[in-house]
Chain A
Amino acid sequence: MKTAVCIKQVVTRDWPLRPAESATWVRDDDASFEMNEPDAYALEEALRLKERHGGEVVVCSAGPARISQVIREALARGADRAIHVESDALSAAGADAVAAALAAAMQDESFDLVLTGLQSDDQGFGQTGVVLAERLGLPHATIIMEVDIAADGAGLRVKRELESGWFQWVAMPLPALLTIQSGINQLRYATLRGIMAAKRKEIRTVPLDGVASQGQRILELYVPEKTSATRFIDGSAPEAARELVRLLREEARVL
């Protein structure tokens, strides 16, 4: 099993973001970054499949030089090597441009299985994986919560999450692409040994000349207008708490 895992670097969840001067992206030049959450689950799933079926796990990541941070982290968790499609133009690119860049770099690797996260925490397209499948000519399934590889290695059965607690098993031939949902497994973290080993692992850097047509352009990015009538309760924690309890009793009458 030769498995690719597509990993995106995103701004740390708690980072206080503000729109950039241009108002078409956020100010992230001084931000801290982390691995996109569902991608961490995709990586873990790839590592588990390797433990069961053998083979190789290859991290595929597209973006500027700074994304080597998450690539190193993935290698430290146990991935074998990495492909870094390097381009500053990809740091805020659309799903199609990213999928095109990844597809070009992955084409000749002939992966048996490609895993992506379901959705990125920043752009939230939820589609880079599906577009990548289309570009690589692979069958795909999305929002996956369990992966079963057939004993003969010819195909797989996956459990898809549907809405409101429903699930469905889908069978497919290999090679295939899956988009992985958070919670599919329990994550492992890098060990010191893993971090040391990662230093010797190969990262193949693929330069990118020109970003493919984006198909969409952000004209303006802004903080959503507040429309709610939330009653904010001020004061110290004990004061606010007492006032809340009073309001819940006397105004909302829910206690």
Chain B
Amino acid sequence: MTLVIAEQRGGVLNPATWETLAAAQQMNAPVTAAVVGARVQDTAAELAAADVAEVLAVEHEALEPYTPDGFVAALAQVVEATGPERVLFPHTYQTRDHAPALAARLGRVLIPDCIGSKDRDGQRVFVRPMFQGKFVADVLPEGPAPHFASFQIGAYRADACVRGAAAATVREVAVQLDAAAIRQRPEAPFKEAKQAVDLTQAERIVAVGRGIKGQEHLPLAQELAKVLDAELAASRPICDSGWLPMDRQIGSSGQTVAPKLYLAVGISGAIQHLVGMKGARTIVAVNKDADAPIFEVADYGIVGDLFEVVPAIVAALDGD
């Protein structure tokens, strides 16, 4: 049996759960979904629409709000009680926060951030990116079941999750938790004070990455943005360095944009950046490395030195 751990917050199911269910359904084993929290009946009912053997509703007051201590303790009991062959998660920030500790507590290892899974010589292997997406590796879990893996957001399509002919059974699973043993005391999530720029409305965006080398070269990108009548944005390291304000960051921890034109300059195309911009209608990438992952999503690509190519684009636009 493959156990999929769903993610919900305040009764709202994280849609990445459907993607992980789709991954699980392709593994030739019955699938069980588990959802964990203080009140999960509605989410469990929603999950029961999927073609799964059953849905486990794991309820306890101490599981709301989410804490890694609470979730590790609860899920360890669920895994031990159900004895799955493997346990799968969507690779969300919450999964990053507790799944490795859960696996360790049970004497196992999590294979994280997988983009696929396949049969290789009769063995189930997990495919995951390495070296910032420059390589991928076929990884074999070793040792006894259960094996643990998480799937990168977007690696499978949510609509690939097969729906069942009838709603699956929902079964309540009791867990023993000692609220006093939970060491983290989380406060309510919040957003930073309002952002100065709203890049989601921009028609054209010039985004600059670490290829720009130094803050003193930023005017190069600013000039390109100006002649294109575009907003200037950046990958995370540019904002981390304080060269541009955080509200110009595109990606999983920044803004998600879908402009008509996204011109990526000196950006490698790490998954956390791609999730924020791959919905753009036309993507152009300028990068000196022909193998940079950004070219996987680019419509047009120029392989070259941005310090030559960017001024040339400015000149070509200015020239008429």
Contacts and interface: CB of A to CB of B under 8 A. Distances in A.
Interface of A: 11, 13, 17, 19, 24, 26, 37, 41, 94-96, 99, 121-127, 130-131, 133-135, 139-143, 161-173, 176, 181-183, 186, 213-224, 226-233, 237-238, 240-242, 244-245, 247-248, 252, 254-255
B291 A173 contact: no
Given A183-B236, A215-B143, A228-B297, 10 more contacts: A134-B104, A164-B256, A219-B140, A221-B136, A237-B304, A237-B305, A240-B304, A242-B319, A244-B316, A252-B282
B46 interface: no
Nearest to A126: B96
Interface in B107-139: 108-113, 120, 125, 128-139
B212 to A, nearest CB: 14
Interface string B78-114: 0000000000000011001111110111001111110
A99 B255 CA distance: 34
Contacts of B69: 139
B37 interface: no
B302 A171 contact: no
21 contacts: A17-B131, A37-B237, A95-B109, A99-B104, A123-B130, A124-B131, A126-B113, A127-B96, A161-B253, A163-B252, A165-B255, A167-B191, A168-B189, A171-B184, A216-B139, A230-B295, A230-B296, A245-B313, A248-B284, A254-B204, A254-B260
Given A183-B236, A216-B142, A230-B299, A124 B113 contact: yes
Nearest to B260: A254
Contacts, number: 250
Given A227-B296, A252-B299, A142 B236 contact: no
A182 B240 contact: yes
Contact of B187 (A126, A169, A215): A169
Contacts of A122: 130-131
Interface of B: 68-69, 72, 92-93, 96-101, 103-105, 108-113, 120, 125, 128-143, 183-192, 195, 204, 210, 228, 236-237, 239-242, 246, 252-256, 260-261, 281-282, 284-285, 290-291, 293, 295-305, 308-309, 311-313, 315-317, 319
Given A139-B69, A255-B228, A221 B135 contact: yes
B100 A245 contact: no
Contacts of A219: 120, 125, 137-140
B301 A230 contact: yes
Given A170-B186, A215-B108, A217-B140, A244 B300 contact: yes
Looking at chain B's contact residues, the main secondary structure is mixed
A17 B242 CA distance: 29
Contacts of B135: 17, 19, 26, 221-224
Contacts of A161: 93, 253
B312 A241 contact: yes
A125 B129 CA distance: 10
A219 B119 CA distance: 12
A143 B93 contact: yes
A224 B141 CA distance: 21
A94 to B, nearest CB: 6
B239 A183 contact: yes
B230 to A, nearest CB: 10
Contacts of A171: 184-187
A242 B316 contact: yes
Contact of B132 (A94, A121, A131): A121
